[in-house]
Amino acid sequence: MSCGHSPDTANPREETAMHDHRRLGRELDLFDTDPLIGAGLPYWLPDGATVRHALEEYIRAAERRAGYRHVYSPVLGKRELYEISGHWSHYSDDMFPPMDLGGEQVVLRPSLCPHHAVIFRSRAHSYRDLPLRMAELGAMYRSELSGVLGGLTRVRAIQLNDAHIFCTLDQVAEEARAALGMIADAYRALGITAARHRLSLPGPGGKYVAAPEMWRRSVALLTRVLDDSGLPYEAVEGEAAFYGPKIDVQVVDPAGRESTLSTVQVDFHQPERFDLDYMGADGAKHRPVMIHRSIIGSVERAVAHLIEAHGGAFPAWLAPVQLVALPISANELPTAQALVARCADLGLRAEIAEPERGTLGARIREARLVPYQAVIGAKEAVNDHIALRLRDGRRLDPQPAGDILTRIRALVAAHDTALWDHDGEAA
Ligand SMILES: [Zn+2]
């Protein structure tokens, strides 16, 4: 399996779980598929694209804060690139067949690692550049059989939250620890929990590169990181990447189906294959170690998990619509329109549920997944107040609209999962 996105073993509950996020995805207009585009090739509708964009921006900002630099690399590469990386001999069952192009063969990439290794190699590096953290939210492809495709969990085109850290052997433990910290922070913001941490080791069979000493060293490093972290974990054979062991963060969907979302991997193999080096303090060339890490794994699987974990009621910072303005009558429509415009100025996503769409009760039910429901009656319109209802049913006393928007914007900017406060009391 490849960096950050491992296939799962199907179990009897798979159908139920996949049906769940597929059903919600369609009902909530998040994503869909069309036989004309093809199986395993979902497209994102505007509301789904909004969730995805918010998620991707969160990841990019977190990576920038943690010292990562972002790159872009193409989704195709020459067959030779994957022969060097080892994908061709260890992973070709999961790759699309090569395309003949003017006498050479190119393939849709099965992972981003080889491109990043080549980018590292393209410039001279000294020990002062390390750890060099290279990140990309990039596309990769897997030739899944059509029988197992569905929704966002088994797809043929994958957007991977990927990064490779090129570092010295001494820096590996700290970098892996920091990546686990980023994963924990992201799970807090996303309102999801890790079911367990897994130390994924090689198993019997020929899909792993044969280098016993390399495996011994990399397993020892990751074991130390997990032991020091205090996190409970279990070691499982047969789940490693072909080039090295992994720490996998497992999540479980409401149907009890487990999958890997996040991963931290140590790799001595690809730096060797691509002949990567840096100039040490001693003036001699040294080989860097490569850490592969993904905070949320593939965007597709992460959003599938978020849909199922929250039943479509996303944390406010991720919600496609964060605030719905509910004018009691047509008289309050201009005030509601002005409120939506103020939200847009503040970077909040808001829309109006007009009175002609039904009674206030019916409109509130329709907007039940929207975190903030701003009711505007005649009195509120005159005073520039809002009677705010929260998605969880709490109702706040009418307050100045400006105060409410400031509060919502602060919660959204902090990626807070609390709708209003932390003690469950309406302010
Ligand atoms: Zn990788």
Q: Are 139 and 157 within 8 A, CB to CB?
A: yes
Which uninterrupted H or E stretch holds 271? helix 269-273
> How much distance in Å is there from the Cα of 36 to the middle of ligand 1?
32
> How much distance in Å is there from the Cα of 128 to the middle of ligand 1?
23
> How much distance in Å is there from the Cα of 247 to the middle of ligand 1?
13
> How much distance in Å is there from the Cα of 384 to the middle of ligand 1?
53
In angstroms, rounded to a whole number, what is the distance separating the alpha carbons of residues 379 and 27?
Answer: 36
Type of residue at 290: M
CA distances from 288 to 118, 160, 178, 272, 291 (A): 13, 23, 18, 9, 10
> How much distance in Å is there from the Cα of 136 to the middle of ligand 1?
10
pLDDT of residue 9: 42
Q: In what order do the strands lie in the sheet with 76-78?
A: 76-78, 104-108, 99-101
> How much distance in Å is there from the Cα of 230 to the middle of ligand 1?
26
Return the structure tokens found at 260.
Answer: 């890997």
C-alpha closest to that of 353 among 383, 398, 323: 323
Which uninterrupted H or E stretch holds 266? strand 258-267
> How much distance in Å is there from the Cα of 197 to the middle of ligand 1?
19
Type of residue at 361: G
> How much distance in Å is there from the Cα of 147 to the middle of ligand 1?
27
> How much distance in Å is there from the Cα of 111 to the middle of ligand 1?
6
pLDDT of residue 369: 96
> How much distance in Å is there from the Cα of 148 to the middle of ligand 1?
24
> How much distance in Å is there from the Cα of 302 to the middle of ligand 1?
18
pLDDT of residue 19: 54
In angstroms, rounded to a whole number, what is the distance separating the alpha carbons of residues 183 and 189?
Answer: 10
> How much distance in Å is there from the Cα of 255 to the middle of ligand 1?
30
**Could you tell me which residues are beta bridge partners of residue 386?**
399
C-alpha closest to that of 246 among 236, 259, 254: 236
Give me the residue label for tokens 């190699």.
121
pLDDT of residue 205: 79
> How much distance in Å is there from the Cα of 51 to the middle of ligand 1?
25
Residue-wise burial string across 171-209, b where 16 or more C-beta atoms lie within 10 A, e elsewhere: bbbebbebbbebbebbbebbbbebeebbbbbbeeeebbb
> How much distance in Å is there from the Cα of 258 to the middle of ligand 1?
22
C-alpha closest to that of 292 among 320, 271, 311, 315: 271
> How much distance in Å is there from the Cα of 321 to the middle of ligand 1?
34
> How much distance in Å is there from the Cα of 112 to the middle of ligand 1?
6
Contacts of 74 (CB under 8 A, 6+ apart): 109, 115
In angstroms, rounded to a whole number, what is the distance separating the alpha carbons of residues 413 and 400?
Answer: 20
> How much distance in Å is there from the Cα of 115 to the middle of ligand 1?
9
> How much distance in Å is there from the Cα of 18 to the middle of ligand 1?
27
Q: Are 285 and 277 within 8 A, CB to CB?
A: yes
C-alpha closest to that of 349 among 54, 44, 42: 54
From the number of C-beta atoms within 10 Å of its C-beta (0-12, 13-18, 19+), residue 100 rates as exposed
Q: Are 229 and 221 within 8 A, CB to CB?
A: no
Work out whether strand 323-327 and strand 372-376 pair parallel, antiparallel, or are unpaired.
Answer: parallel
> How much distance in Å is there from the Cα of 163 to the middle of ligand 1?
7
> How much distance in Å is there from the Cα of 12 to the middle of ligand 1?
31
C-alpha closest to that of 164 among 207, 125, 131, 200: 131
**Could you tell me which residues are beta bridge partners of residue 251?**
259
> How much distance in Å is there from the Cα of 167 to the middle of ligand 1?
14
> How much distance in Å is there from the Cα of 413 to the middle of ligand 1?
30
Helices 401-413 and 333-345 meet at what angle, rounded to 10?
30
Q: Are 264 and 180 within 8 A, CB to CB?
A: yes
User: Helices marked H in 158-211 — which ranges?
Assistant: 172-190
> How much distance in Å is there from the Cα of 322 to the middle of ligand 1?
35
Name residues of the chain where pLDDT drops below 70.
1-19, 147-148, 206, 422-427
Neighbours of ion ligand 1 (CB under 5 A): 3, 113, 292
**CA-based diameter of the chain, in Å?**
77
> How much distance in Å is there from the Cα of 162 to the middle of ligand 1?
7
C-alpha closest to that of 149 among 255, 37, 42, 36: 42
Contacts of 107 (CB under 8 A, 6+ apart): 76, 77, 78, 79, 82, 95, 96, 97, 98, 99
Contacts of 180 (CB under 8 A, 6+ apart): 225, 229, 231, 247, 264
pLDDT of residue 92: 87
Please provide the size of the chain in residues: 427
